[in-house]
Every structure is written in C-alpha cells, then in structure tokens.
C-alpha cells in the first residue's frame, strides 16, 4: 500500500448565498479573520469549474481555514445545486497534499470515484475532488500544500 501524502486539513468548505451572510456568522459571531490575500478581497477567488467566488477565513494561528463558496448568479455547478437543494452549510473537506496528482492516483487505486474537472495541459492535477459516495458522504478535495506552511513544525512537542 502506498504511503499517504496528506500534510494536513487545508480547509473546510461551506456554501452561502453571500459573503455578508458568511461574514456575519464566521467573522462577527465566531471571530474568525478573513484571509484577504488568499480570498482576493473584495471580489473573491474565482473557481471556474464550480462557478464560485471563494473566500477564506483563518481558524486561529493554525493551518486550517474555512472556505466560503458563493455561487455566481446563474451558476449550474454542483455547489450551486447543493445550495439550492440544501441551503447554506457544510459542503466539503479539503486535504493539503505534497503532490495532488499522486494522491489522486492513490485514492483512485483504493476504489474512490473522482469527479472530473479540467487538468493541467500536461495531464497532471493541481486540484482533485472525490465523490461523497466513496468517502463517507463527504465531498473530498485535494489541493497542494501551501509552501509557506510546509516549513512550520507539524507537531508541537513540549
């Protein structure tokens, strides 16, 4: 069995109708800070395959963030359908990986079902999604580990 290349949980994804709605809960009520550079504030980081504007809130001083997906007006993507059917809430769990492509191949070999999204011109993946049917009902995303976090110690030992 191949070794796992997950580094940490990168983010938990939620869907919302507006960033103002998410800010009211995540920022105002819970006290999380908006990561303006990663969010490409104020417009949001656009993710074409899902037709969403994404915003990231930092969870304390750790490595994990909460990603808010706001489907664009008229979107027909999975995130838009999810929001229409279920309303705002938990959408996916995302793992940071040393190599997204290799991890996606490992998960495929383990029998998980990948959701088809565009790849790089060389055929390698820089992001991957796996269907909730094979992952305990949780849409699972893989992304590259952010370089600025790789140098941090992963485990605190007194």
Is the model's pLDDT at 156 over the cut of 90?
no
CA 93 to chain centre: 6
42 prior amide bond cis, ω within 30: yes
- For position 4, what pLDDT does the model report? 72
At 34, which helix (H) or strand (E)? Answer: strand 33-34
Q: What are 64-114's pLDDT values in tens digits? A: 999 999 999 999 999 999 999 999 999 999 999 999 999 999 999 999 999
Q: Which candidate, 53, 58, 54, places its Cα nearest to that of 27?
A: 58
Secondary structure (3-state) at 103: helix
Beta carbons of 54 and 47 less than 8 angstroms apart: yes
Q: Which domains does the chain have, with CATH numbers?
A: 10-96 (3.10.180.10), 99-131 (no CATH)
Q: What are 15-54's pLDDT values in tens digits? A: 999 999 999 999 999 999 999 999 999 999 999 999 999 9
Query: Residues 6 or more apart from 7 whose CB is under 8 A from it?
Result: 95, 96, 97, 98, 145, 149, 150, 154
């Amino acid at each position: 069995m191949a070794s796992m290349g997950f580094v940490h949980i990168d983010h938990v994804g939620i869907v919302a109708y507006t960033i103002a709605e998410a800010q009211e809960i995540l920022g105002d009520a819970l006290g999380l800070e908006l990561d303006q550079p990663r969010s490409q504030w104020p417009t949001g980081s656009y993710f074409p395959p899902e037709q969403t504007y994404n915003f990231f809130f930092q969870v304390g001083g750790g490595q994990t963030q909460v990603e808010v997906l706001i489907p664009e007006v008229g979107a027909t993507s999975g995130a838009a359908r999810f929001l229409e059917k279920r309303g705002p809430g938990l959408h996916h769990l995302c793992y940071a990986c040393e190599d997204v492509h290799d991890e996606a191949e490992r998960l495929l070999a383990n029998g998980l079902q990948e959701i088809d999204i565009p790849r790089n011109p060389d055929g390698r993946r820089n992001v991957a999604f796996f269907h909730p049917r094979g992952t305990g009902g949780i849409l699972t995303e893989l992304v590259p580990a952010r370089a600025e976090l790789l140098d941090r110690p992963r485990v605190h030992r007194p």
